Chains A and B, each alone.
Chain A
Amino acid sequence: MTEAPHIEVRDLSMAYGSFMVQHDLNFTVNKGDIFVIMGGNGCGKTTLMRALIGLQRPAVGTVFYDGEDFWQVAPEGQERLKRRLGIMFQGGALWSSLTLAENVALPLSEYTRLPAGRISEIVSYKLALVGLAGFEEFYPSELSGGMKKRASLARAMALDPDILVIDEPSSGLDPLTARRLDDLIVELRDSLGTTIVVITHELASILGIGNNSVFLDAETHTMIATGDPRIAVQSGDPRVRHFLTRGAA
């Protein structure tokens, strides 16, 4: 992994009205990282994700992508930066009126000049990559929770993004399916060099795939640790160790 700053979060604070969700967040995601945003329920992980991907303007602070200030560039620049991101939402967020093939094909038909036949090939390849070959004509309502997540991952990868942002990949999945999804994330990073940001509180995922992380604390409403979660569990902040050992430490 190359240690070059890819995403830099500087003095970031997010709020809903007068309620401060998180404040003074400062951390860096390097190229090729599997970066975990972790913390207990309600600590603001998804809110941070929304600020990272441009869905929610931060109250204070900003996010840099390769040195470019996301919240300062013009709307066209923001759209360009967004196209470097692939997002897998917590519930999948597949477009319910479109088939899986159409879901994956839509970004390709909007942003490339590829002919329909080529798009169809890429769609089949992306769905095969997540183990959904043959499900092209299925609608999201016909899939299980795990299949929806994998299909959402295929859509997120449609434009070969530099950065994949994955919200709660394991939630609601049985342990084996969750493990397969974790393995898939690591394979994507290793084979494509994609930087991956994972929002999760699943310990198996945090310690199994993460090599960098930030820990958000629900009580103090700010980050209390950043770095490799496997080191944090050994010698990090006591509150982080308490979390990562399910209260044993």
Chain B
Amino acid sequence: MPQDHDRRQWSLASSPMEGGGQELSLGGRWCLDQDLPAADEVAAGLGGEVRCLRVTSSELADWDSGFVAFLTVLCRHCAARGISVDQEALPAGVRHLLTMAAAVPEQKVGRRGQGSENLLVRVGTAALSLAHGAPEMLRFLGEIVLALGRLVAGRAQFRMGDLWLEIEEVGPRALGIVSIISFLVGLILAYLGADQLRMVGAQIFIADLVAIGMVREIGALMTGIIIAGRTGAAFAAQLGTMQVNEEIDAFKTLGISPIDFLVLPRIVALILMVPLLTLYSSFVGMLAGLIISTTIFDIGVFEYYTETVRALELKHFLVGLSKGSVYGAMVAYAGCLRGMQCGRSAEAVGEAATSAVVTGILLITIMASLMTILYYQLGI
């Protein structure tokens, strides 16, 4: 069945006038629900000798924005070729709209997003962006180190109340999600170990696997990742929104360091709380291992407990806690960095939150690898 837009309801006729001019008669319906002619093609069809174009519309039945847009483009092409356009025979409403559209000349600000960039350009742009981003990250790190120095010296513009609020937000309020994830990870570890150890009749070593795995590595890693998603994103969104609302500018104009006032409480809170959450996560994971081992694999509670105590040494706790502190610092750094770098729009706040999570997890992974190699080399 033919659609409305398939039917051509408009008409266009061109005829020469005396004195080197051309008359363009437009008739019928010129509406957006049909395929209208391209104005640049009509302009290209005008002979090179044409100096004046008279547009008439005595047969025009109906028109909308499609008609005005056609005439706007036609007038622009004619102006570029030095052809004057006589609009007197057009309806008054159309003439007014054309005048309004031409009232403010196009600003030469350079259009954005035009054309597709080739791979080389995109790689170059990404490399330049990275080159600009790296010094920015180092500068921010340096500012944090200086602010921590001021905090130790008691000269930071810092409110203790803000630190307590942040501690409450990043610590106790994260217990729920840390409990669930740690319990499930402990459960997975227990099943994974049971499957392998059963083959050699050494199921009791599930306790060793879960305890050392959770305390040394998994507790800190899972807590770091949970905190990156939960708290790192929140830091970036909070600081980003403050950028949008000019709250950070207000600090700067009063000579109050936003690093001291906003970043420091968040960094200190995470450095203090993530090791504690890591410890908690490890115990919940071990509890899951205990429950699974005693209920599914017929290992006695006391037997499991004794094996866990025998397997764990102080160094395992120190390794786990040190990793927790570093991961906490990484998440706080990534969240605050992206928040402070945020642009001034709602979209930029979303990007800052996403980028904080990605950067946080990337930094955690890099630090986890480096610390694992370091502790192995040190024999810890």
Using a CB–CB cutoff of 8 Å, the interface residues on chain A facing chain B are 18-19, 50, 53-55, 79, 82-83, 85, 87, 89-97, 106-107, 110-111, 155, 219
The total of interchain contacts (Cβ-Cβ below 8 angstroms) comes to 56
Contacts of A107 in B (CB 8 A): 254, 256
Chain B residues, Cβ within 8 Å of A92: 245
Contacts of A83 in B (CB 8 A): 254-255
Shortest Cβ distance from B105 into A: residue: A219
Could you show 13 A-B contacts with beta carbons less than 8 Å apart? A18-B110, A19-B109, A54-B253, A89-B246, A91-B245, A93-B246, A94-B247, A95-B242, A95-B247, A96-B247, A97-B162, A107-B254, A110-B256
| A11 vs B286: C-alpha distance when bound (angstroms) | 69
CB atoms of B250 and A93 under 8 A apart: yes
Please give, as numbers and ranges, the residues of chain A lying within 8 Å of B136 by CB-CB distance. Answer: none
Q: Which of A19, A89, A111 contacts B249 (CB 8 A)?
A: A89
**A110 touching B250 in the complex, CB below 8 Å, given contacts A19-B109, A91-B245, A93-B245:** no
Of chain A, the residue at the smallest CB distance from B162 is A97
Smallest CB–CB gap between A142 and chain B, Å? 15
CB-based contact A85/B253 at 8 Å: yes
Considering only CB atoms, which chain B residue lies closest to A167 in the complex? B246
Q: List residues of chain B with CB within 8 A of the CB of A96.
A: 241-242, 245, 247
Contact A53 B253 (CB under 8 A): yes
Decide if B5 is an interface residue (CB 8 Å cutoff): no
Contacts of B245 in A (CB 8 A): 91-93, 96
Note all chain A residues with C-beta closer than 8 A to B253.
53-55, 82, 85, 87
Which chain A residue shows the least CB distance to B165? A97
Cα distance, A109 to B339, chains bound together (Å): 26
Known pairs A89-B246, A89-B250, A90-B246 / 17 extra A-B pairs, C-beta < 8 Å: A19-B110, A54-B252, A55-B253, A79-B255, A82-B252, A82-B254, A87-B250, A89-B249, A91-B245, A91-B246, A94-B250, A95-B242, A95-B250, A96-B241, A106-B254, A110-B157, A110-B256
Shortest Cβ distance from residue B345 to the other chain A in the assembled complex, whole angstroms? 13
B250 touches A82 (CB 8 A): no
Contacts of B252 in A (CB 8 A): 54-55, 82
Q: How far is the CB of B150 from chain A (nearest CB, A)?
A: 14
Cα A111 to Cα B253 with chains together (Å): 13
The 9 closest A-B pairs by CB, nearest first: A93-B246, A79-B255, A93-B250, A89-B246, A87-B253, A82-B255, A93-B247, A107-B254, A53-B253
* Cα A90 to Cα B344 with chains together (Å): 13
State A53–B242 Cα separation when bound (angstroms): 19
Shortest Cβ gap from A194 to chain B (Å): 16
Distance A94 CA – B241 CA, assembled complex (angstroms): 12
**Assembled-state Cα–Cα distance A50/B248 (Å):** 13
CA distance A65 to B50 in the complex (A): 61
Least distance between B253 CB and chain A CB atoms (Å): 5
Which of B110, B241, B242, B247 gathers the greatest number of chain A CB atoms within 10 Å? B247
Which A-chain residue is minimally distant from B254 (CB atoms)? A107
A92 to B255, CA, bound (A): 18
